[in-house]
Amino acid sequence: MKGNEALAEAAIRSGCRHFFGYPITPQTEVAAYMAKRMPKIGGTYLQAESEIAAINMVYGAASAGVRAMTSSSSPGISLKSEGISYIAGADLPCLIINVQRGGPGLGGIQPSQADYWQATRATGHGDFHVLVFAPSTIQEMVDLVGMAFEKADAYRMPAMILADGMLGQMMEPVSFPEEAAEVKTVAKPWATNGHEGKRAHNIVNSLYLKPDQLEKTIIDRFQRYETIKATEARAEEYLVEDAEIVLVAYGATARIVKSAVNTAREMGIRAGMIRPITLWPYPVKNIQKAAETAKHFLCVEMSMGQMVDDVRLAVNGKRPVDFFGHTGGVIPAPGEVLEKIKAIAGGAK
Amino acid sequence: MAVVFERPKALLDVPTHYCPGCTHGIIHRLVAEAIDTLGIEDKTVGVAPVGCAVMAYDYFACDMVEAAHGRAPAVATGLKRSLPDNVIFTYQGDGDLAAIGTAETVHSATRGENITVIFVNNAIYGMTGGQMAPTSLPGQVTQTTPYGRDVKTAGYPVRVCEMLSTLSGVAYAERVTVDTPAHVRQAKAAIQKAFQNQIDKKGFSIVEVVSSCPTNWGLTPNEALQWLRDNMLPYYPLGVYKDTTGGDK
């Protein structure tokens, strides 16, 4: 199944019945799949007039208490950033998919990972985070969509699947969980769905004109973030235990890096890989632990080097951290990564 | 003793932040009266704008959502598609609805979203202190048109009801005002009809209320109403611009 379609089907199986989108390459199959499926299952597929409208429709649907989502690619996510900030500021859960392409500006339509900073640092104005999940296989896309909805509900915050054009467009066999008779959802007593004369009116809002009050809501939110950082960080470790050179890569790039690591091992170089599955919260502990035994880190991305900041923060000067990457839609080749590993290994001797 | 006049139940008994003489108070009341008359407070969700009515969420007794600037019709669309049996309304000013939110307004209208839009047109940005609005009149002096709105550089004011009435998705578009008791009664009927249309699943309904802003117009409340009559009503004629709902209910 194609990655983009797998994302859409997984969302439906997670109980999402409200999709608001806008066409943009290379994620359009998500919307097309939703347009085909939603009317058959009593759901809503709505093609909005803009990315801005689409994310605000998600804001409205999330306010009503339903599982809602939108999907886009890099330039479209920039347009959605206003709405994402409001959604975070109003403590609403939702799912946003970014099938990344090259930027800045119109950039290109080939795979890229140049929105890492945007996803983890500045998805919109103000002090806030979104949960960021980074699948590296189509199966993992399916699994993480379900998890993203659950965690978004649990923590009342937006969640993002940060994929890329390669994962969106590639095909792999995939197995879906049985469509659950009941989707795991949490009670949403805060939802604005009509008070039915049973409670005071609910207000969904991000405006606090009194600085003390605004600061308090943000501090409360950041306390929640501390819990999330302590419990929700996820990573895959591959041959890290005895590795002298630890590569760090996520998403489609991790697939390339893994094959370079395997070749390096065949050549007798003790290489390993840490693959962050959550980009926020970042799996800091995995990196810190590896920094105790490994001699060198190498971060590989389809960007000029964005996640490498988080690797360096976690390593905290303890070991050298190198970067290798391509950007603009150019995909790093396993051979190039291997050369970089060999150069580090040679220098280490 | 029989109670002949009281605060509508859908309007909370709290002080508002509106300036003396501002007509938002009357319009809030008319919306609340419509909600009471139709008995729909328990299933109504209102969407507040950015602008002077930004804190309307504290004044209406129904559930309320605060939207980003201009996005209220998109937020209302998300609410309505999730809660098709609830009543969803937006309450928006001219900058919100006819400038930054024009796309959301036009497209929710052309989709025929079954929502109610209350559009308060006072020809100025009130909350930010009196800048030119998309509906500011030619020659009107504002903070950002200190020599009067020059249509050669600042363009012409937008007539929203006329524009939207060309769209097939619009069921009902009427322009009213609240400068006299007679006009207030007409406005009340229009607002109630705009809610009734939604209950009857007739589609997109908008009521534009030509309104005054004494503070930013630099006039007393009475002078402001006279200015409204002399200047706004000729450019924004009152009346029903579209009604496909098959008469009054």
Which CATH number belongs to the domain containing residue A280 in this structure? Answer: 3.40.50.920
Q: Could you tell me the pTM of the whole model?
A: 0.97
Query: Tokens 């005071």 sit at which residue?
Result: A200
Average pLDDT (A256-270) is 98
Residue A182 lies in a domain: no
Mark whether A267 and A325 lie in a shared domain.
yes
Name the maximum alpha-carbon separation found in chain A.
Answer: 75
* B232: nearest Cα among B244, B221, B224: B224
Examine the domain organization and report whether A42 and A93 are in the same domain.
yes
- Is residue A225 domain-shared with residue A273, that is, in the same domain? no
pLDDT of residue B246: 83
Residues A227 and A279 in one domain: no
**Does B249 touch chain A if contact means CB atoms closer than 8 Å?**
no
pLDDT (mean) for A71-99: 98
The verdict on a CB contact (< 8 Å) between B78 and A58 is: yes
Residue A199 lies in a domain: no
Instruction: Look at residue A182 in the predicted model and tell me its pLDDT.
Output: 66
Question: What is the average pLDDT value for chain A, to the nearest integer?
Answer: 96
Contact B38, B195 (CB under 8 A): yes
- The answer to whether residue B16 is domain-embedded is no
Cβ A133 vs Cβ A164: under 8 Å: no
A44 and A102 part of one domain: yes
Query: What's B63's domain CATH number?
Result: 3.40.50.970
B11 within domain boundaries? no
Residues A45, A118, single domain; the answer is: yes
- Looking at CA atoms only, how far is residue B179 from chain A in angstroms? 31
Regarding whether A318 and A272 lie in a shared domain, the answer is: yes
Q: What is the CATH number of the domain that holds A165?
A: 3.40.50.970
Cβ neighbours of A59 in B, within 8 Å: 65, 67-68, 71, 74-75, 78
Distance from CA of B36 to the nearest CA of A (A): 13
What is the residue range of A73's domain?
3-177+218-231
Q: A95 touching B, CB under 8 A?
A: no
Task: Please check whether residue A188 lies inside any domain of the structure.
Answer: no
Based on the domain organization, do A316 and A252 belong to the same domain?
A: yes
User: In this complex, is the C-beta atom of B113 within 8 Å of any C-beta atom belonging to chain A?
Assistant: no
Whether A227 and A268 map to the same domain: the answer is no
Q: Which positions ≥6 away from B180 have C-beta within 8 Å?
A: none
Q: Chain B neighbours among A 293-322 (CB < 8 Å)?
A: none
Do residue A157 and residue A13 come from a single domain? Answer: yes
pLDDT of residue B249: 42
pLDDT at A348: 53
Residue A92 lies in a domain: yes
| A179, pLDDT greater than 90 | no
Is residue A349 pLDDT above 80, yes or no? no
* A212 domain-assigned: no
Tell me if A209 is assigned to some domain.
Answer: no
> A223 and A246: one domain?
no
Residue type, position A299, single letter = C
pLDDT by residue (tens digit) across A288-308? 999 999 999 999 999 999 999
Residue range A151-159: mean pLDDT, rounded: 98
pLDDT greater than 90 at residue A170: yes
Number of domains comprising chain A: 2
Report residue A347's pLDDT band, with 50, 70 and 90 as the boundaries.
Answer: confident
Sheet with A68-72: strands ordered across: A44-47, A18-21, A68-72, A94-100, A158-164, A131-133, A278-280
Q: Which stretches of chain B drop beneath a pLDDT of 50? A: 248-249
* pLDDT score at A181: 58
- The CA distance from A55 to the nearest CA of chain B, in Å, is 8
B41/A82 Cβ within 8 A: no
- Structural domain including B77 reads 24-243
Same-domain status, A254 and A153: no
B145 lies in some domain: yes
pLDDT at residue number A250 = 98
Report CB contact under 8 Å: A201, B63. yes
For residue A187, tell me if it sits in a domain. no
pLDDT above 70 as % of chain A: 98
Q: What is the total count of domains within chain B?
A: 1
Tell me if chain A has a CB within 8 Å of the CB of B79.
yes
Degrees (nearest 5) of the Cα angle A253, A258, A261? 125
